[in-house]
């Protein structure tokens, strides 16, 4: 099963504050552990929303708004993609992440083709399979 682990933004991440050397070192070790266990598929940080934009689809032309956006509990600072046997295993791994203080992560299961049900017609399923094969594999 694949999971996206969303690392929530904070005032610090939005301000571009670099984590401490200790934190970066600990995080590097944690990433290596996940890699050795064959769990990690990807791990990325995102630049603050001040470099970002939002597009609203109001029914007419899409409306673009430049960041920054309010630091709520819903902004994303980074993420991992992991592959594990169960949600419990995902949680067990993530409890070991060397976060401190007010950090929060959210674990979300990724849709696999089997999960989509009837909306994924045989034709679309074939297209989806082709997409998976042809896009860069993580």
Partner 1 sequence: MRFMMLMIPAGYETAAPGTVPDDVERFAAMMEYNKALLEAGVLITCDGLHPPSMGARVSFPSGGPVVTDGPFAEAKEVLGGYWMIDVASREAAIEWASKCPASADEVIEIRQVQEINDFPADVQALTDGYDVMQTTAQRLG
Residue list 49-108, contact with partner 1 (CB under 8 A): 49, 51-59, 62, 64, 69, 72-74, 76, 78, 81, 87, 90-91, 94-95, 97, 99-108
Question: Which residues lie closer than 8 Å to 82 by C-beta, 6 or more apart?
Answer: 2, 3, 5, 34, 39, 40, 41, 90, 93
Cis peptide bond prior to 57, omega within 30° of 0: no
Residue 15 or 51 having the CB closest to partner 1: 51
CB 25, min distance to partner 1, A: 6
Among 45, 68, 86, 129, binds partner 1 (CB under 8 A): 45
Contact predicate 3/82, CB 8 Å: yes
* 123 CB-contact burial (10 Å; exposed 0-12 / middle 13-18 / buried 19+): exposed
CB 15, min distance to partner 1, A: 14
Under rule CB under 8 A, residue 28 binds partner 1: yes
Under rule CB under 8 A, residue 21 binds partner 1: yes
The two three-digit tokens of residue 55, written as one number: 């597009």
Under rule CB under 8 A, residue 26 binds partner 1: no
Residue 11 or 95 having the CB closest to partner 1: 95
């Amino acid at each position: 099963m694949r999971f996206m682990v969303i690392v929530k933004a904070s005032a610090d991440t939005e301000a571009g504050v670099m984590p401490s050397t200790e934190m970066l070192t600990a995080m590097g070790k944690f990433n290596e552990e996940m890699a050795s266990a064959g769990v990690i598929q990807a791990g990325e940080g995102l630049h603050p929303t001040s470099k970002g934009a939002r597009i609203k689809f109001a029914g007419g032309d899409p409306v673009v708004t430049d960041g920054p956006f309010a630091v709520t509990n819903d902004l994303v600072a980074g993420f991992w993609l992991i592959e594990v046997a169960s949600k419990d295993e995902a949680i067990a791994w993530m409890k070991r992440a060397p976060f401190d203080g007010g950090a929060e992560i959210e674990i979300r299961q990724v849709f696999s083709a089997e999960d989509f049900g009837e909306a994924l017609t045989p034709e679309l399923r074939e297209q989806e399979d082709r997409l998976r094969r042809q896009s860069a594999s993580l």
